[in-house]
Each structure stands twice: as structure tokens, then as C-alpha cells.
Structure 1
């Protein structure tokens, strides 16, 4: 095998790889010899088929496999010897193309863009500001008030039932004058306007009062689950026993117990922790932007044009969809890549390569548990299809990389932050919101 350099300009590389006919023939013979003990052929015992006959019968198929193995092996040897890391999958072409015939040398041309060598980055001068926001009493009280609304109670009222009220009813449903299975209940609490009964039922109870009786006439939907009722007209004989108006739950220990804690003080503490955790997440995004800005000014190295171009196209495509939210597919005119997209792509690629280099040198890794947790979090976005999402991730290397990449980047950012000079600054929620808004404006 012979490897000859044909291109070396910046990060662009080109090599001609020659695999002699003798080398290729030796690989074919080795593959056939390896398979010989398991091959059966009419007229010969298992494992006793002559090599010449095997080569005639299976040679063409094995030749293609041997050729691919030889090229892959030559590429791997080259990358190990040179230390090059291709930015994208190398472009490999067979020089002779369809004119190649058995007995000829195999000559292929391999071109790629190498990832740059990144010098050790001096992080000693990195200074970061960590914004801290404490949950105020008002914010905790507002959150408690919202919880009280979700734990809504109903209190007895005088007068007619209104939309949003709860009526406690006994009912008996009949189709063609005959009761049907599942069509009766006693002391059933029904919130009017909830849509929990078939269409038209709840509306007819608006205006009723406690002690009244009301026949509710409805039609079961054509696609109703029970075939014997689908599309049928029904009459529900209803007795209204109580009418109740909605009322927010009292903010007390009883409310806390509804949410699984022992008292109001504990619930307030949990709410404050949750709010401050949300603030900490937003503050981290602000600190991360500050870190990336500093890193961007610390380093300078050549970038693979193919990576920058691919990233610029992705940015342009993403921004186009944000401006055209009604278009969900990719059946749209080609999106033009602007200078602004390219400038942003250069920054992203540079920082991405730098963070990857730092993470690799520090031997940082995303654990299986961290990856699984991230997959579970994304799977929750598809209720009822969690298993299918897990299987899709397992079978799709590109999807796994999309999930793992930000996890790895966060690990590197956290590692750098641990080495940096970090000062804390306590600010208000409003000031944090302005800082977060500024991230989108840059």
C-alpha cells in the first residue's frame, strides 16, 4: 500500500492511496480461507472445497468486501500515523471508476478538512459574575395563591347554577325509554362547562336550582365508544341536589397537605426553593454567555470551511422557521445564508471546537445515567409515545449525538467555571429578566 499527499493547504488535505493487485488478492484469499471450513458444495465434504473453486464461485463478492476493508484500513492507518482528525466524513473516490477491472491496482483519492490543532488555552484570567436572586415574600405568596386556585373548592350557594358552578345530581339515562348500563349515578359532582359529559348535557343544567328535576335530552356522538349507544338519542332524568359556587382553597396547613407536605411553612419553603432554582438556571445562562464571550476573545485558529458552511446553513434555516412558524416541514424555498449567519457560525464553530478540545484534554465524559435522564426528559414531551421515542434514540446515532452534545458542553462550562474567579452579585428578579432578554438581543 502506498499513500501519496496531493493537497495540503490550510486545513484541506488530499491523499492518493494505492493498493496493489497482489495486496488485494492476498486479502481475498485470506477471507476465503477463513470461510472455507464452513462452506459446503455439491460433490465435496464440508470444509473440503478447493480454494480455486471457492475463488471462482465466491471471488467476485469477496473481492468487493476485501476492497472496502483495504481502503478503510488504509484510511485508519493514515489517521493514526498523521494524527489528523477529519472535520466531516472524508470524500473517497476510486480513480478508475467503472473502468477498473480485476487484476488492476486499486487507486483511490481521499480528501477532507482536518480539525485544527488547538494550543493550550490559558484560563487563568477568566473572571465570571454569578447572579443570585432570592425569592421574595410576594413571589412566594403569589405562587401560593395560584396553587390555591388549582386546589379549588366548591361552597353551597343559593340561586341558579351558572357556568363554572358545580351541581350535585342523581341521574338516570334512558334510550328508547329503557335504562342502559352505566347511565345512572347518585350524588355525582358535575362542574358545568368542564366538558366531562357528552356534548349538550352540561349546558342544559345551567339555570337549575337545588331541589329541581330536569330531563336532559342529548344525542350520543356517532363515534361514541359503546356501539349500542353511538348516535342514539337519550334522555337523562336528573335531580339537582345541590348547587355550589367555586371558591379558592384557604391558604393554610390544609392546603399544604393537599400538596403532600405537612404544613404551610414547609410548602412556602419548597416554593421558594423552586423559584430560586428557576432563577439559578436563568442566571447560569447569563454567566455562560459571559464565559463564551471571554473564550471567544482568548483564542484564534483556522476553522474548517465545511463546518462553518454547514453551521451557517443550519442557523439560517432555524431562524427562517422561527420567522415562519406556520411552516413545519422543509418544503419551502431555499434559505439564503447571509453574512450575519456566517459570522455567528464562525463563533459557534470556534467555541464548539475549543470546548470539545478542553473537555477531551480534561477527560470529561457524560455518564450513562446523565444521558438516560436527558432522554427521559425529552420523552415526556411525547405523552403515550415514550417507548417509541426511546427506541428512536437508540437506533439513531445522530439523535444520540444531538442529546449528548449540549450535556458535554455544559460539563466543560462547569469545569471552566470551577477554575475561574467567580464573584456573586445579588440582584432582583426584574434585573435578571432584563439580563436574560439581553441575551436574545445580542
Structure 2
């Protein structure tokens, strides 16, 4: 078999393969002989049909089937011989398969890029350092009280924390715009559901009052045509309900699973949960900076085939998120919607794989065990959770992949410029949720 490789672009290779006619004839003859043992034809017992008749009737279809498999096998033999690493399926451009002559075909294929890792010393990371104070715990308990708040009708003016029922109609330069109006909307003032200035503009209104408020859409608003636009909203307030927070009593504590130990035990549990969330928030913040640093310090040529696969994966994930699954038409979510993020994901995947290879990293079994144990702690029967993970290959593989990625982050941090920065608990956790 003869193989020649032409470099078409950074990642594309044109592979030309020539397979000797003798190999084709030998393969086809073997297939004809095999078919003759099972084929049925009138006038002949099974297995007694002459090869010449089998060749005459089925020879061409048998040859085409053989050629398909030979092309497939020869291509993979060729890329192995040439030490190519295909990043997707090949596109067969030319095939010459005349009887009695050598088979030749040309395949265009993308290969994985060769990545030379830059020094990690130029990557800068700010690592939040947080001490959870009693004041932070008080603030968290207050937040938990608000989550279980009740509301009662009031004739007083609306204040921060109150629930209002409103109609609103927005306009820009005197013209109404899509999505700018609604009736009977319930809104807790101070919740941050609406754009800046909207909720504060309602503070002070009473049931039955009307008022115009002036606001400006933020520059990062999801609807691009509304970004930085000044708007006027006509507000009609139908009802004001005052917020009533529950007491931190035995009933309140019981709702959070605390039946013994009282307030002290509750605060201890709150601190544990806050510590767990903080640890994850710091980890995510640091990891995001590491990944951004890797992308900024490397130019990665990404194979189009890998990006296309990642686009399809992200599209399907979005379908599943919204409950549509495969029932939704993929055209509803065009490739362009995912292209940038898909390219980023593929680039990071390639960089991470290269770091794993260069650093000779393998999954740390002790870290896997620690992660699973930490997850299990929040359940009533931790042992069952641990057994579930170790008894489920897919779930365990997900944890192992996460741990290996954490090890990559650690490898980068070992050489990067890491500055510890004092921060508040709430600031770190809120930024991680965004």
C-alpha cells in the first residue's frame, strides 16, 4: 500500500492511498467463495452453486461492499502509518476502482493540533481569602427568614421588602416596546428582579396610586436593542403587602432539620453549609481565572469537526434544559448561537489534555474519595451515597474527570502568579452565582 500526505492547511491533510489490485481481487474472491456457501439459486443445492454463477449475479455488489470496507480500513492503516491523529471523519474526494487496476482514493481529514505549552508564570490569579464571621451567619439567617416570609395586605406606603401587585407599561421616546408591559405582576421590592431603578421607583407608592418612573436599561441587558435606552414606565399599584418574618424559634429550626441543640446547633449547621458553598465559590473563581489565563497565553487552532460536535452537544443540552429533548427542531437554535462558546470549550479541552500529557497527570484516587465523601456528608445515609458512586461507572467517571481537571488547575497555579485577596463571604458567593 502506497501513502502520500499533503498539508492543505494548519490542520487539514490530504491523504492519497493506493491499494494493489491483487489485494482487491483476493478480498473479492474470498467474499464470493463465502457467499457461494450460503446463496440459494434454482436448480442447485445449497452450497453447490458454481462460483462463476455467483460471480456473474452478485459479483458487482460484493465488489462494492468490499471496496467500502477496504477504503475504510486502508485509511486508518494509512493515518497510523503516517502518525496522523484524525480529529474527525474523513471526506473521501476521489476514488478510482477500475477492475484489474490498483484502487486509489484521496481523503481530506482534519488532525489534532500540535500544542506547545507556554510558561504558566505569566498567568495571574487573585484568590479570595474569606473568614466567615458571626455577622455573616446573622446575615444568612436573615436571608433564610426572608425565604419563609409571609405577607399581609397594608394601606401603608410600599417599602423595601414589601410585595406589591402592579401593572406596568413601558415606552421609549413615547413608543411602546415588546415585553415592556404586564398586568397583575407580583414583585418583592429589593429582590433585584427588575432593571436598576424600577423597584426603587415604586417605593413609597400606595395601593390605588399611579406613577411614572424613569429608568435606563443596563448596557449588558439581554435584549441588545434595549441596551442603554432611557425608558418611562407607567406604574399602577393595586396592592401593597407588608413582609412578616418568622421568629427563629423551635418550629423555624425544625424546618431546617434541627430538632436538638437549639440555636447553637442551627448556627453550626449554617456555618458548615456556608463553608461548603464558599469553598466551591473560591474554587470556581480561581479555576475561571486559570482557564482565562490559559486561553490568553495560547493560540490554539481548533478542528472544525470538534467544534461542530461541541455545538451539537451544547444545543442538545439546551433542549434538555427546556424539556424539549430531541422533539425540538435544531434549526430553532442555529450554530451561531453556540459557536463562540463551543470554540472556547474545544480550545480549553485541547490545552487541558496537553497539560495532562506534559505533566504526566493521572487521577488521584484519594482526591476522588474525598470529593465523594464530601458530597455524601449532606445526606442522611452517607454510606449509601458512597456505594452508589463507586457502583456506578458513569457517575464515578464524572467525578474522576472533575478531579483530574482540578489537578490541572493545581499544576498551573504552582507556576502562576497567585495573589491572596481578602474578601467578604457574600461578595465571593454572589459573584460565583452570576
TM-score between the two structures when normalised by the length of structure 2: 0.52
Residue correspondence of structure 1 range 207-356 to structure 2 within 5 A:
250-251=249-250, 255=254, 258-259=257-258, 264-304=263-303, 329-330=328-329, 335=334, 337=336, 347-356=344-353
Instruction: Tell me the residue number matched to 1:431.
Output: 427
Matches of 2:296 and 2:12, distance apart in 1:
25
Instruction: Tell me the residue number matched to 1:28.
Output: 28
Matches of 2:332 and 2:343, distance apart in 1:
24
Is the Cα contact below 8 Å between 2:38 and 2:46 reproduced in 1?
no
Instruction: Tell me the residue number matched to 1:11.
Output: 11
Is the Cα contact below 8 Å between 2:136 and 2:425 reproduced in 1?
no
Matches of 1:431 and 1:18, distance apart in 2:
64
Matches of 1:102 and 1:347, distance apart in 2:
48
2:70 pairs with 1:74: no
Instruction: Tell me the residue number matched to 1:115.
Output: 112
Higher Cα radius of gyration: 1
Is the Cα contact below 8 Å between 1:151 and 1:249 reproduced in 2?
no
Is the Cα contact below 8 Å between 1:134 and 1:276 reproduced in 2?
no
Instruction: Tell me the residue number matched to 1:156.
Output: none
Matches of 1:258 and 1:308, distance apart in 2:
47
Instruction: Tell me the residue number matched to 1:168.
Output: none
SS at match of 1:95: strand
Cα 1:149–1:121, aligned 2, differ >3 Å: closer, same or farther? closer
Is the Cα contact below 8 Å between 1:151 and 1:248 reproduced in 2?
no
SS at match of 2:4: strand
Cα 1:68–1:414, aligned 2, differ >3 Å: closer, same or farther? farther
Cα 1:271–1:62, aligned 2, differ >3 Å: closer, same or farther? farther
What displacement does 1:72 show?
2.1
What displacement does 1:326 show?
12
SS at match of 1:3: strand
Instruction: Tell me the residue number matched to 1:174.
Output: none
RMSD: 5.5
What displacement does 1:418 show?
5.3
Cα 1:69–1:343, aligned 2, differ >3 Å: closer, same or farther? closer
Is the Cα contact below 8 Å between 1:256 and 1:262 reproduced in 2?
no
SS at match of 1:270: helix
Instruction: Tell me the residue number matched to 2:186.
Output: none
2:141 pairs with 1:140: no
Matches of 2:415 and 2:56, distance apart in 1:
66
Is the Cα contact below 8 Å between 2:17 and 2:78 reproduced in 1?
no
Is the Cα contact below 8 Å between 1:133 and 1:276 reproduced in 2?
no
Matches of 2:144 and 2:431, distance apart in 1:
28
Moved more, 120-129 or 254-263: 254-263
Matches of 2:136 and 2:252, distance apart in 1:
19
Cα 1:432–1:93, aligned 2, differ >3 Å: closer, same or farther? same
Instruction: Tell me the residue number matched to 1:389.
Output: none
What displacement does 1:23 show?
1.3
Instruction: Tell me the residue number matched to 1:128.
Output: 125
Instruction: Tell me the residue number matched to 2:409.
Output: 413
Structure 1, gaps ≥5 residues long? 153-245, 378-392
What displacement does 1:117 show?
0.9
TM-score between the two structures when normalised by the length of structure 1: 0.52
Matches of 2:267 and 2:25, distance apart in 1:
78
Is the Cα contact below 8 Å between 1:145 and 1:251 reproduced in 2?
no
Cα 1:17–1:292, aligned 2, differ >3 Å: closer, same or farther? same
Matches of 1:271 and 1:62, distance apart in 2:
72
Matches of 2:399 and 2:60, distance apart in 1:
42
Matches of 2:59 and 2:20, distance apart in 1:
17
Matches of 2:123 and 2:39, distance apart in 1:
69
Matches of 2:420 and 2:252, distance apart in 1:
35
